[in-house]
Amino acid sequence: MKAIILAGGKGTRLRPLTYAIPKPLLPVGGKPVIEYVIDNLKACKEIDGIYIGISHQREVIWEYFRHVDYGLPVELISTLCWETGGDLKCIANEKDINETIVVAYGDIITKMDVCELAKFHRKAGKLATVALFPVPEEDVERFGIAELDGTTVRSFVEKPQKGKAASNLANAGCYILEPEALRKLSFRKEKVERDLFPQLARAGELAGFVNKLPYWIDVGTIGSYRKANKLIEGIISP
């Protein structure tokens, strides 16, 4: 099974830091943000290779990865920064992917059991499974929110309007897709969360795997970057 990390964002909200350092390589607790994602993926021995989609400051990122050995093949793929859906389609097309894949976002720091996610996905028997975690009610507008019927996602709404969220179960930024789900993506600048997930939910082909994550931070702003460093300093000994 292959994994894809989507790391094509410019990191504009992290400027001035990202003028010099690509967003995936910003250090948190002494190591790049993206390595927290890689650690989650490589802990699942079913994953035998990782593709990383990048679109900005490619030369710097390539130079970094040229000097690192993660114990499994890691390949960088240039994308067009066409949101999660467009970039994912580009990678799948370029590498001719025709197998189950794990997709993870490259700017999220968390601790997730990807093996359990894969096991759940096989048991659910759907075209896709999205990892979910509960968030405070006041934060639901910031996330893609899933409404569950058992383990099946009945509806998925990206950043619902205030007071209109069907639940507080949010997209954790990691999901599994079967080849048929991948084929439903188009070469458009579109988010998986606004296009593919709602489509699969309507067809009853999206499962939801609920996690109680010990921590979860989207490193997308200066504020969240500071929070991530403070958090990791409290977890990892110097």
Determine the Cα–Cα distance for residues 229 and 225; give it in Å rounded to an integer.
6
CB neighbour list of residue 151: distance below 8 Å, 6 or more residues apart: 120, 124, 207, 208, 209
CB 177 within 8 A of CB 128: yes
Q: What is the pLDDT of residue 130?
A: 98
Residue written as tokens 């999901």? 175
Q: What mean pLDDT, rounded, does the chain reach?
A: 88
Q: What is the pLDDT of residue 236?
A: 57
Give yes or no for residue 235 having a pLDDT over 90. no
| Residue 1 burial class via C-beta count within 10 angstroms: exposed 0-12, middle 13-18, buried 19 and up | middle
Determine the Cα–Cα distance for residues 186 and 83; give it in Å rounded to an integer.
12
What are the tokens at 139? Answer: 């934060």
Domains of the chain in sequence order: 2-232 (3.90.550.10)
Structure pTM?
Answer: 0.91
CB 37 within 8 A of CB 108: yes
Confidence of residue 186 (pLDDT cuts 50, 70, 90): confident
Residue written as tokens 């993506």? 185
DSSP SS3 for 201: helix
Name which of 5-19, 105-119, 147-161 the model is least confident about. Answer: 5-19
Q: What is the pLDDT of residue 86?
A: 83
CB neighbour list of residue 45: distance below 8 Å, 6 or more residues apart: 115
Percent of residues, the chain, with pLDDT higher than 90: 52
AA identity, residue 220? G
Measured CA distances, 214 to 31, 112, 147, 211, 226 (Å): 19, 9, 22, 9, 18
Give 218's Cβ-side CA count (13 Å radius).
Answer: 15
Give yes or no for residue 44 having a pLDDT over 50. yes
Give yes or no for residue 238 having a pLDDT over 50. no
